[in-house]
Amino acid sequence: MKKWTLLLLICSIAMLGFSAGTAGAEDKKIKAGFIYVGPVGDYGFSHAHDLGRKFAEEKLDWLETVYVESVSEADSDRIIDRLVQQQKCDVVFTNSFGFMDSTIKAGERYPDKIFMHCSGFKRSDNVGTYFGDLYQMYYLNGIMAGALTQTNKIGYVAAFPIPELIRHIDAYALGIKAVNPDAKVHVKWIYAWYGPDKAREAAESLIAEGCDTLAFTEDTPAVIEVGQEHTEKGKQIYTFSHYSAMQPYGEDSVVSGQFMNWGGMYVKILEDIQAGNWTNEDIWWLAKEGAAILGGNETDPINPKFVDDLKQAMVQTEEFGEISAYDLVMTRYDQMKQGVDVFDPFVGPISDNKGNLQIPAGERASKDDLLSIMYYVDNVEGTIPQ
């Protein structure tokens, strides 16, 4: 009797399994987990990713998402485990460079799941990488900074000394150099992605040192708030917003800036996974793919308050002769949208600030060069912390 019950039980379980299997094939749902390093309200990197997540969830009706914010690197293994084991995620997006090793290890633990790591360089069979880079927009910001600065001292508040940041600082400096070879870039490192207090301190000290123009990589509008405060007190400080539309925090200070649109990339990755076309190939999107966008808010590439100033600022260029800074920005932006082969900031001759030629005349830096760049170009002051 007992044997029969057992047999019946096994049969019913098997049938259940089959029916579940066929139901899944008809309507393949995908559940994606997102792990953010900062809070989604940070107005920076995590915020931008979360907008992308929401965009994808709205667009794809077979997609379900779950996210975890403010995950420290020490805890990332655990959170990945939880998303896979408890939340049954099919795909996990890990959105900070520091999650790289955890993501690779998770790929080994869960060979039948897909992992996508943002900004890293390690891949495996089921771990891919993706990134959208803003260096082109930093170059355009640099053109505006170089045209507007009165003191020829331009500040940069930077998070961590890693290639991504160096690339942004260098692109910014190259944009400045294109219109104002006398201006120098001064960098302050704060060692935090999310550190409004430190960013504020760094911005204040750059202004105290004579900088009148500030750009930054940090996930809050702290630098912009500092610029706005000084501007309201009568000392014009120009700032450039980073990663989200931060212009509302400094209508009189923010000239332009850049933000990232992750939505399109997430939709593409998830559609590829759904269709079974996914590969672990690195995804690297720029202005051409519509990932990198110029501006301090969603509507104006340049704050209308500063458009006239930029139109009046005439600069000399080899390619276009005498041209207004405004036209130069717009022309370059247009070229960037056509592709890196039409225009790219990192075309030689480019020398580092120790006098070594890094990119020979006429050559364009490869993606690998850009991903591992660790030198300041020649109009940046100081040395990279070693």
Q: Give the H or E element holding residue 131.
A: strand 127-132
Question: Residue 277 or 386: which CB sits closer to another protein?
Answer: 386
What is the per-residue binding string for another protein in 173-212, x denoting contact by CB under 8 A? ------------------x---------------------
Does 330 sit near another protein (CB under 8 A)? no
User: What is the C-alpha to C-alpha distance for residues 108 and 224, in angstroms, rounded to an integer?
Assistant: 43
Residue closer to another protein (CB basis): 107 or 175: 107
Residues 102-121 that bind another protein (CB under 8 A): 121
Q: Which residue has the tokens 């009797």?
A: 1
Calculate the alpha carbon distances from 160 to 58, 139, 192, 243, 245 in Å.
34, 20, 7, 16, 22
Is the Cβ of residue 87 or residue 124 nearer to another protein in the bound state? 87
Judged by CB under 8 A, which of 32, 83, 283, 292 binds another protein?
Answer: 83
Give CA–CA dist 278/284, Å, rounded: 15
Bridge partners (DSSP) of residue 256 are 240
Number of residues that bind another protein (CB under 8 A): 34
C-alpha 51/C-alpha 297 separation (Å) is 14
* DSSP string for 318-359: TTTEEEEHHHHHHHHHHHHHH-TTT--S-BS-EEBTTS-EEE
Cβ closest to another protein, residue 76 vs residue 353? 76
Segment contacting another protein by CB under 8 A, of 37-45, 243-251, 271-279, 320-328 = 37-45
Nearer to another protein, 78 or 311 (CB): 78
Residue 369 interacts with another protein (CB under 8 A): yes or no: no
Q: Does 282 bind another protein (CB under 8 A)?
A: no
Round to whole Å and give the CA distance between 246 and 233: 20
Give contact residues for another protein (rule: CB under 8 A): 39-41, 66, 68-70, 72-75, 77-79, 81-83, 85-87, 97-98, 101, 121, 160-163, 191, 371-372, 374, 385-386
